[in-house]
């Protein structure tokens, strides 16, 4: 029997992608894994992260019996997709910022990428902009604090409106800006709050629907949806457990990794 579609993220931001996949494939079983023991990924060196991501995903695919893996994390996708596809025998779908649709939809030719520092500064992101948005002016804005706000809101807390407004403030200096790419899977979870904090209307564009379409294209067989869908975390904590339960993953278990995958990561300085 085929297994579920497994969604991977460093935290619970991938729940925004899970929602898009559920909308596209309502009868498919989903599973979720987060490497929250090492959150945030943006402070870790690239080589260490590639090894870590591979270890977590390989183990999660084994224990879940997944039919496909969705890497619902921009940082992980830009670093580890090739390694994952080489090591796994199931389809692997990645996440990239929605630069292409935003550039195509913009009337003014001025768009922004709102993402984490790691995504904003990667050569991969520059290549996306050069390839699909060369005719646009693209503001790249790091908004790392929004990750914590999304995690807190998903766990039942309240967002700090001052933090959100401060993260968005540089956008409004661009009078012609008409489209903002949500380049982190956590950010669509704050969409209503982002809209409320905006002094003028802009289009907020994320990758969720495109990822769901790609999953539907590559997954030929998947387990049918069950009432209780499984999730794993590298650190079982109350906050992610509450967020996952509220979004249809009530069964959270600890993901046990090989010893060489749990060594502390040095910080990027």
CA distance 160 to 175: 26
Diameter of the chain measured on Cα atoms: 54
Beta bridge partners, 34, equal 9, 233
pLDDT greater than 60 at residue 19 = yes
**Rounded mean pLDDT of 181-202?**
95
Residues 132 and 40 reside in one and the same domain:
no
Residue 78 CA to its chain's centroid (Å): 11
Residues 42 and 169 reside in one and the same domain:
no
**Rounded mean pLDDT of 198-206?**
96
For the chain, report the end-to-end CA distance as a whole number of angstroms: 47
Range of the domain at 229: 5-95+210-259
Residues 215 and 84 reside in one and the same domain:
yes
Greatest mean pLDDT among 37-41, 63-67, 258-262: 63-67
Q: In the chain, what percentage of residues exceed pLDDT 70?
A: 95
Which residue in the block uniquely carries the two structure tokens 């992980």? Answer: 76
Exposure on the CB side of residue 32, measured as CA atoms within 13 A: 33
Whether 192 is in a domain gets the answer yes
pLDDT greater than 80 at residue 183 = yes
**Rounded mean pLDDT of 44-71?**
94
pLDDT greater than 80 at residue 268 = no
Residues 91 and 104 reside in one and the same domain:
no
Residues 227 and 214 reside in one and the same domain:
yes
pLDDT tier at 226 (50, 70, 90 boundaries)?
Answer: low
Which of these three, 206, 226, 243, is where a domain ends?
206
Whether 83 is in a domain gets the answer yes
User: Residue 262: its pLDDT value, please?
Assistant: 62
pLDDT tier at 261 (50, 70, 90 boundaries)?
Answer: low
Which residue of the set 34, 57, 153, 184 is catalytic?
Answer: 184
Which of these three, 184, 206, 228, is where a domain ends?
206
Whether 86 is in a domain gets the answer yes
User: Residue 87: its pLDDT value, please?
Assistant: 96
User: Residue 75: its pLDDT value, please?
Assistant: 87
Instruction: Reply yes or no on whether 225 is catalytic.
Output: no
Name the residue with higher pLDDT: 1 or 22: 22
* CB burial readout 72-104, b (16+ within 10 A) else e: bbbbbbbbbbebbeeebebbbbbbbbbbbbbbe
pLDDT digits (tens, 9 = 90+) for 72-121: 998 899 889 999 999 999 999 999 899 999 999 999 999 999 998 888 98
Residues 108 and 78 reside in one and the same domain:
no
Number of domains, the chain: 2
pLDDT tier at 229 (50, 70, 90 boundaries)?
Answer: confident
Beta bridge partners, 139, equal 112
Residues 191 and 226 reside in one and the same domain:
no
Residues 197 and 107 reside in one and the same domain:
yes
**Rounded mean pLDDT of 211-232?**
84
Nearest to 9 by CA among 35, 30, 27, 28: 35
CATH number of the domain encompassing residue 18? 3.40.50.1860
Whether 32 is in a domain gets the answer yes
Whether 106 is in a domain gets the answer yes
Residues 35 and 123 reside in one and the same domain:
no
Q: What is the DSSP letter of 107?
A: S
**Rounded mean pLDDT of 178-200?**
95
**Rounded mean pLDDT of 204-209?**
95
- How does DSSP assign 210-248, residue by residue? HHHHHHHHH----PBP-SS-EEEESS--HHHHHHHHHTT
Residues 144 and 72 reside in one and the same domain:
no
Whether 150 is in a domain gets the answer yes
Residues 215 and 90 reside in one and the same domain:
yes
Instruction: Reply yes or no on whether 73 is catalytic.
Output: yes
Work out the angle between the directed axes of helices 238-246 and 145-154 (0-180°, nearest 10): 70
Name the residue with higher pLDDT: 259 or 100: 100
Which of these three, 186, 206, 226, is where a domain ends?
206
Residues 30 and 50 reside in one and the same domain:
yes
Whether 269 is in a domain gets the answer no
Which residue of the set 73, 136, 153, 167 is catalytic?
Answer: 73
**What residues have CB less than 8 Å from 11, skipping those under 6 apart?**
34, 36, 39, 40, 147, 151, 186, 240
Whether 266 is in a domain gets the answer no
């Amino acid at each position: 029997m085929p297994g579920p579609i497994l969604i991977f993220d460093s935290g619970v931001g991938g729940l925004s992608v899970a929602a898009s996949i559920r909308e596209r494939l309502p009868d498919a079983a989903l599973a979720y894994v987060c490497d929250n023991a090492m959150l945030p990924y943006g402070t870790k060196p690239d080589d260490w992260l590639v090894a870590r991501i591979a270890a977590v995903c390989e183990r999660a695919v084994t224990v879940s019996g997944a039919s496909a893996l969705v890497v619902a994390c921009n940082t992980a996708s830009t670093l580890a997709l090739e390694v994952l596809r080489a090591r796994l025998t199931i389809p692997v779908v990645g996440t990239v910022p929605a630069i292409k649709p935003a550039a195509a939809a913009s009337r003014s030719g001025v768009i922004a990428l709102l993402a984490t520092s790691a995504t904003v500064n990667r050569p991969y992101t520059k290549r996306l902009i050069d390839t699909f948005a060369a005719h646009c002016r693209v503001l790249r804005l790091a908004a790392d604090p929004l990750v914590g706000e999304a995690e807190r809101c998903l766990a039942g807390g309240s967002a700090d409106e001052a933090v959100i407004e401060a993260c968005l403030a540089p956008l409004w200096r661009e009078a012609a800006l008409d489209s903002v790419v949500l380049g982190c899977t956590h950010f669509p979870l704050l969409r209503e709050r982002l809209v409320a904090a905006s002094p003028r209307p802009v289009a907020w564009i994320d990758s969720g629907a495109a990822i769901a379409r790609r999953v539907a294209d590559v997954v030929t067989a998947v387990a049918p949806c069950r009432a209780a869908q499984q999730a794993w975390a590298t650190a079982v904590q109350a906050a992610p457990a509450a967020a996952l339960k509220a979004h249809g993953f009530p069964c959270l278990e600890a993901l046990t990794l090989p010893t060489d995958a749990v060594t502390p990561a040095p910080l990027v300085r």
